[in-house]
Chain A
């Protein structure tokens, strides 16, 4: 039984290593920064927040067409999801390393 468990762990480790690379690649394809919506006098003003050379830049997106704004929101949400999943991949890899002793 232990032998087959070790086999599963070995396979899973290889899968996680490949998946880690894929998430990094997918995250790099998605836009950087995050979206902030400021409510001023009851109206919502969307801003794209980017960090460049340790400075925070705000880019107003109010003049962006509705569909492009929606697309950007979706992409940034997907990036957040991928980043959290990348964290999970790394945690799972560490767990296997602890059990299996792989470095």
Chain B
């Protein structure tokens, strides 16, 4: 269960996705982004460590997928087993070291059931506010791959929004710990502070309000920044 073992499994999957030509159409979201932020910021220990088994892949736009590929088969070949949720119909893929899940941004009225992504042979869960992450992509080069993740500033701010909406208090607490840890690190970098300001300026007022409501309690620096916008 060491992080290196987990990363080895994730790296194998990323390589398979790259070989299949679908990596460019996916965005790695969730706490595994922290691992790549550590790589991007020269292995900085100040960035919180990954503390979950889930690797979430976001499909920004299922209608713009360029290639067809049997992702379920790839995952099976890598030793992942599908885990069906009988109530929702959602399929997650489990491995001793990792769980992989696919997400799509939920827009408009939303869906009751997971969305079928025929081109990839999987289904994906629709979640609100994921378009926040797709709006701020960042490409991180790692070995022979280019991995798409959200910008660290967007990642942290998004965690504030969703922590306020979570029913599971444990997960909400984890979200906040991650967001605060990352923001503390980003606030030492003037370039990242400028990005935080720019994102806060760009997003809808309702989102900004949700973020600042949460940050007021756990990271008041952000509220000070917002006042200066």
Contact = CB atoms under 8 A, between A and B. Distances in A.
Interface of A: 1, 3-5, 7-8, 11-12, 15-16, 18-19, 22-23, 26, 78, 81-82, 85, 88-89, 92, 95-96
Given A16-B96, A22-B94, A95-B1, A81 B174 contact: no
14 contacts: A3-B170, A4-B170, A4-B177, A7-B174, A8-B53, A12-B53, A15-B53, A19-B81, A19-B94, A23-B81, A78-B77, A85-B79, A85-B96, A92-B96
B97 interface: yes
Contacts of B177: 1, 4
Contacts of B81: 19, 22-23, 26
Interface of B: 1, 51-53, 77, 79, 81, 83, 94-97, 99, 170, 173-174, 177
A15 B173 contact: no
Residue of A19, A22, A23, A95 with most partner-chain B CB within 10 A: A19
Nearest to B173: A4
Contacts of A1: 177
A89 B170 CA distance: 24
A11 B19 CA distance: 32
Given A12-B1, A12-B53, A19-B83, 14 more contacts: A1-B177, A3-B173, A4-B177, A5-B51, A8-B174, A15-B99, A18-B83, A19-B81, A19-B94, A22-B81, A82-B79, A88-B96, A92-B1, A92-B96
A42 B92 CA distance: 47
Contacts of B77: 78
Contact of A81 (B1, B53, B79, B99): B79
Contacts of B99: 15
B84 to A, nearest CB: 10
Contact of B95 (A4, A18, A26, A85): A85
B96 A89 contact: yes
Contacts of B95: 19, 85
Nearest to A19: B94
8 pairs of A and B residues whose beta carbons are closest in the complex: A88-B96, A7-B170, A89-B96, A92-B1, A4-B174, A85-B79, A22-B81, A19-B94
B83 A22 contact: yes
Contacts of B94: 15, 18-19, 22
A11 B51 CA distance: 12
Nearest to B96: A88
Q: Most chain-A CB neighbours within 10 Å: which of B79, B94, B95, B96?
A: B96
A74 to B, nearest CB: 9
Contacts of B170: 3-4, 7
Contacts of A26: 81
B15 to A, nearest CB: 17
